A and B are shown apart, each in its own frame.
Chain A
Amino acid sequence: MECVVQGIIESQNNSHYMRHNNGVRLQHVEALQILLQGLCGVPKERVRVHELCLKSGPNLGVVPSEVRLLCDLAQPTPSWTVRHVGGAMRGAGAEQISVLVRTIVESKRGAQITVTVTSANKMPKLYATDEAVPVTPGIQLVEITAPAAAENYSEVVAAVSSFCEYLAPLLHLSKPGVSMGIVPTAAAAAASLMSNSGAKTL
């Protein structure tokens, strides 16, 4: 099982800000990194994944099924993970919590709370990873996941929920599919984080 929330964050410097702040580039993603560094001090890793979504053909299987093949291109030797996303928890209890709990079967093991910031890119033709273009320019997807089991998922939900509160100045985080847009005051929060940490401009 896993607990998951998602949000979106602006990823491009806003030229409007550039004019009014003497060329200081405000990168919300960089601010998020500073925030995360302060919260947990874990080093960041590059993400480069080629994802193939396979759906069962019309005659195969009693019910339609879908499986994702993920090729990790960031490692020196590419490695494949096969991932099946199952149904989400439903019912009154599930509605009350702000985190989605769903079954997941993967051929690789997961770690603690994972924060992933990615841009989805579409390829003009199959396997042409170098020609991919962003699907949502200027916006990146932030996903927070944590592995859970039937016996402990409520504790994991609580942990993920409180973690989300720390990120609230920069991100609205919610169940996948329940979009809440960007945080209007994210720019101010990012500026504050960048100046507090003494971050250099790029």
Chain B
Amino acid sequence: MPVKWLMHWQPNQGVTLTTQILTEACQCVESQLGGAKDGRWKTALTYYRPALREASASGDLPRELLGVALHDQLGSYYFLLRAHRLILQADSSMQALMDKLQSYKPRVVLNFEGFQYRLGDFQVRVGKCVPSSEVLRGIMMEVEYLPLSSIEKSRQILEDFFDIWQDTVKKRSLPGHFILVEPNFADYGLQDHYTPQHTAVQYATCMTQLMAAVRN
């Protein structure tokens, strides 16, 4: 499967995030880069927490379980235990099973959604990160290089794309910039060949960075 890089918007210190950034980013893709709009996309990330009978005694139970539903892998669901660096691919019916078990319950659901564009050998997705409260939490971008599945081999070309993208956005004088999500894939036992698990790890890592950005 093609290599994908995730980026998110880092607003300048003290600046509130608005959908204006999203509109500007989409315009950059369409007008400046000549991207052809080619549909919508939606990925969801769920934070599961253990349903404890006694709140104080959690013992060695993982306190957080992440679930990821990727827009291009509708039959699968990915679970991550960040503290343990574990990732698991399951059938999408696992979500119904989790509902039945009632051992870990979904506490926060974040939806990543927006438009997708085709730009030659690249597929670009620009979108917003919204929790169920509908308050804008972040602006994301997925950049996919279709011809290659090797992370190392595609590194240079994706870096070049990122540089062009940064320059394009800079011309709009927006109060912030996009930054790359750079997870350590090897920590999760993932290889150079790109897989949906790599995408799930990028989303999980991105959330940590996004939450840190919102706090600051």
Residue contact B97 to A65, C-beta cutoff 8 Å = no
What string of 1s and 0s marks CB contacts (under 8 Å) between A149-191 and chain B? Answer: 0000000000000000000000000000000000000000000
CB contact list, A33-63 vs B, under 8 A: 56-63
B107 interfacial by beta-carbon distance below 8 Å: no
Bound-state Cα–Cα, A58 to B58, Å: 10
Residue contact A106 to B93, C-beta cutoff 8 Å = yes
Task: Please tell me which stretch of B98-106, B166-174, B197-205 contacts chain A, meaning at least 4 of its Cβ atoms lie within 8 angstroms of it.
Answer: B98-106
Q: Which of A58, A59, A65, A107 contacts B101 (CB 8 A)?
A: A65
A74 interfacial by beta-carbon distance below 8 Å: no
Task: Please tell me which stretch of B7-15, B46-54, B109-117, B125-133 contacts chain A, meaning at least 4 of its Cβ atoms lie within 8 angstroms of it.
Answer: B46-54
Contacts of B91 in A (CB 8 A): 107-108
Tell me how many residue pairs across A and B have CB atoms closer than 8 Å: 53
The size class of the interface chain B forms with chain A is: 10 to 19
Residue contact B101 to A67, C-beta cutoff 8 Å = yes
A25 interfacial by beta-carbon distance below 8 Å: no
Residue contact B57 to A61, C-beta cutoff 8 Å = no
CB contact list, A86-136 vs B, under 8 A: 86, 103, 105-108
Bound-state Cα–Cα, A63 to B97, Å: 15
Contacts of A57 in B (CB 8 A): 59, 61
Residue contact A62 to B51, C-beta cutoff 8 Å = yes
A82 interfacial by beta-carbon distance below 8 Å: yes
Residue contact B61 to A67, C-beta cutoff 8 Å = no
Contacts of A65 in B (CB 8 A): 100-103
B136 interfacial by beta-carbon distance below 8 Å: no
Contacts of B74 in A (CB 8 A): none
* Chain B residues within CB distance 8 Å of chain A: 50-54, 57-59, 61, 90-91, 93-94, 96-97, 100-103
Q: A56-B101, A60-B50, A82-B94 are in contact. List 19 more A-B contacts (CB 8 A).
A: A56-B103, A57-B59, A59-B52, A59-B57, A59-B58, A59-B61, A60-B53, A61-B51, A61-B53, A61-B101, A62-B53, A65-B102, A65-B103, A67-B101, A86-B100, A103-B100, A105-B93, A107-B91, A107-B97
Pull 5 A–B residue pairs with CB atoms less than 8 Å apart, ordered by A.
A56-B101, A63-B102, A84-B100, A105-B97, A106-B97
